[in-house]
Amino acid sequence: MIWFNYFSPIIMVAAVWIAYRVGKRSRDQLEQQGLGDVGQAKIVVRDLEQISQQVRRSLVSHHASIVQFKERISKLTETGDSEALMELTREAEQILQPTIQLASQIAHAYDDIRQQTDQLSSPEQLRTDALTGLSSRRAMEDILKMLFAMKSRYDTRFAIALIDIDGFQKINDQYGHVRGDEMLRSFAATLDSTVRETDVVVRFGGEEFVVIMPETDLPGSCVFGQRLRKSVRDKLDLTVSVGVAEARDGDTLKSLLSRTDSALYSAKAGGGDCVFQHTGRHIELARPLKAVSLPPADGSESDASATTAAGA
């Protein structure tokens, strides 16, 4: 197996490329048969109906509250009850909060609808996120399936990182979606410049991103997460929360993403601007970058760093 250990990075890169081409060919065949777009359209319609129903329920509930409030104001204005009017003023402030929440909900629905309609594009476009130019979630699933197959057959290793921009919704609420989209593009460019050539960067949805790191173990993924935090802070004056996990025996695509998402949730719950790792048994805060042994600056790899140089 010595020869395999030597060539495994090359095999891994080739596997990722093959996954891309094979997946694309399969989707092109479905496109020619007229099956892919129809099935995808049904999914999009279902999701859009759910979004519209949720927003509609919120609008109806909020509208009823406002109507009742207006009726009370009309009655109190006729009686001239100053104390009751003061009480209504306080109630108005309470009504304002759901209004803000509803506006945020509609903004999220706008983003969901835009992403769903993007999925009705051509098969090639489905593999690329229209806003950032990064790989799409569909491309991510194809690559991870190939990496799982490689792990099962050759006992290779890989890790993923799930990244969320801290406080991004406030940017959308304060400056609008145009500014929010600009920020997402800038972040995507910074993220893409931080990874290795063999890594795959994916826009997972909204302000969440995934980095797939072949030939990387859990400590190596933590190194990447800490480096990304510093790079984003220095270049964009933003902070990010990062959850990382390494694929383990018995993992599936769903279970790996679930463990990584749990690590990210812990990072967000901890106040953000940090990296949490899922060891397979528990979730813990990753060591700061200065406490991690880094590979040589000349790019050579020692035995100890061969699988932990993510982001080098």
> Which active-site residues does the annotation give?
207
Q: Residues with Cβ < 8 Å from 227, sequence gap 6 or more?
A: 194, 289, 311
The contacts found for 103-111 with CB under 8 angstroms, 24 or more apart, are: 103/173, 104/169, 104/173, 105/54, 105/55, 105/58, 106/55, 107/172, 107/173, 107/177, 108/206, 109/51, 109/52, 109/54, 109/55, 110/177, 111/177, 111/206
As given in the structure block, the two tokens for residue 26 are 């399969």
Count other Cβ atoms within 10 Å, centred on residue 134. Answer: 22
CA distance 295 to 268: 29
**212 and 160 Cβ atoms separated by less than 8 Å:** yes
Place of tokens 């993007």: 118
**4 and 154 Cβ atoms separated by less than 8 Å:** yes
CA distance 261 to 227: 20
**198 and 240 Cβ atoms separated by less than 8 Å:** no
Place of tokens 């100890």: 304
Amino acid at 46: R
Place of tokens 């949490």: 276
**295 and 302 Cβ atoms separated by less than 8 Å:** yes
